[in-house]
Amino acid sequence: MFASMKHAKIRLYVDQPLGVGQSVPLSQGQARYLFAVMRLGVGNAVSLFNGRDGEWQAEVAEAGKRGGTLCCIAQSAAQQDPPDLWLLFAPIKKARTDFIVEKAAEMGAARIVPVQTDFTNAERIRQDRLQAHAIEAAEQCGGTFVPEVTELRTLTKVLDGWPSERRLMMPDESLAGKGASLGATPGGPWAILIGPEGGFSEGERARLTGLPFVTRVSLGPRILRADTAAVAAMTLWHTALGDW
Ligand code: SAM
């Protein structure tokens, strides 16, 4: 149904309803990006998505310095949600934390949960900035889904309220090179937990090892940086259980 349709190169995430003839108001930032930076004008095409209704082709109806409106013409791609996979990670240095969020959004995380562990050296995160990175990654990679980036939570609290049907894959640096793999594991909802630069504390490792829903794995014989480990772990999971 969508194969023949032309997709406008410029893709924009809008938190607005999308549908045939739907008028979409633009924020000042979106108007500046489309009209000043990308130099679009009335009649030009834009691909829109809102994370729920697939991708839509739209046209610029009004273009101004501080705002504008687009008009939805037709749907150009169906909504494609990722598998039910959460990425939990301990925030590291800002740029590398941004990288983890961006890659998780591109690679198909359904939710991104920054967690404070014993050795995490970041006391807080800018959730709004990280959410913007996830949106930008979806715009760039042609996705129609945007994962929620939650506020920073302690690992203890996250585990205390853990949904029992969700399994947790824990790349554990103490298993480096010991060949511990995912093995034959059930489908269903999953999560991945990546530790901080300092790794997991003994107390965390003892608690996680004792939890029935946890599968500890190795990511090979070399110790990876946390941002590399996040990408490696998502690759491992997706090739075994995901939608790749
Ligand atoms: N400071 C730790 C050390 O030297 O052992 C390394 C922690 S590593 C930078 C950050 C996280 O990446 C770890 O907590 C783990 O989740 C993951 N990781 C890195 N390399 C790994 C490997 N070879 N096997 C399993 N997990 C790994």
Tokens at residue 212, please? 């029935």
DSSP-based helix, strand, coil % in the chain, nearest 5: 30, 25, 45
Residues 101 and 206 in one domain: yes
Residues 115 and 191 in one domain: yes
Residues 58 and 121 in one domain: no
Chosen domain end from 54, 77, 100:
77
Tokens at residue 120, please? 């995490």
Residues 45 and 105 in one domain: no
| Smallest CA separation from ligand 1 atom 11, residue | 195
Listed range (4-8, 114-118, 150-154, 175-179) with the worst mean pLDDT = 4-8
Cα(24) to ligand 1 centroid in Å equals 45
Q: What is the pLDDT of residue 187?
A: 83
Residues 32 and 94 in one domain: no
Cα(159) to ligand 1 centroid in Å equals 20
Chosen domain end from 34, 58, 77:
77
List pLDDT tens digits, range 11-70: 999 999 999 999 999 999 999 999 999 999 999 999 999 999 999 999 999 999 999 999
Residues with Cβ within 6 A of ligand 1?
Answer: 171-173, 175-176, 194-195, 197-200, 218-220, 222-226, 229
Distance in angstroms (rounded) separating the CA atoms of residues 244 and 238: 6
Cα(242) to ligand 1 centroid in Å equals 22
CB distance 47 to 57 below 8 Å: yes
189 contact partners, CB below 8 Å, separation of at least 6: 84, 85, 86, 163, 165, 166, 167
The three-state secondary structure class of 159 is helix
Residues 16 and 119 in one domain: no
> pLDDT at residue 5 above 80?
no
Q: What is the pLDDT of residue 9?
A: 87
Residues 117 and 186 in one domain: yes
Residues 94 and 64 in one domain: no
Chosen domain end from 52, 77, 102:
77
Q: What is the pLDDT of residue 40?
A: 96
- Which residue out of 224, 234, 235, 236 has the highest number of ligand 1 atoms within 8 Å of its CB and is therefore the one to mutate? 224
CATH number of the domain encompassing residue 49: 2.40.240.20
CATH number of the domain encompassing residue 204: 3.40.1280.10
Quote the percentage of the chain above a pLDDT of 70.
Answer: 98
Domain extent at residue 185: 85-241
Residues 107 and 206 in one domain: yes
> pLDDT at residue 3 above 70?
no
Residues 181 and 228 in one domain: yes
Residues 66 and 155 in one domain: no
Residues 6 and 93 in one domain: no
Total of domains in the chain? 2
Name the band, by pLDDT with cuts 50, 70 and 90, for residue 206.
very high
Q: Measuring CA to CA, how many Å separate 190 from each of 47, 146, 162, 244?
A: 31, 18, 11, 15
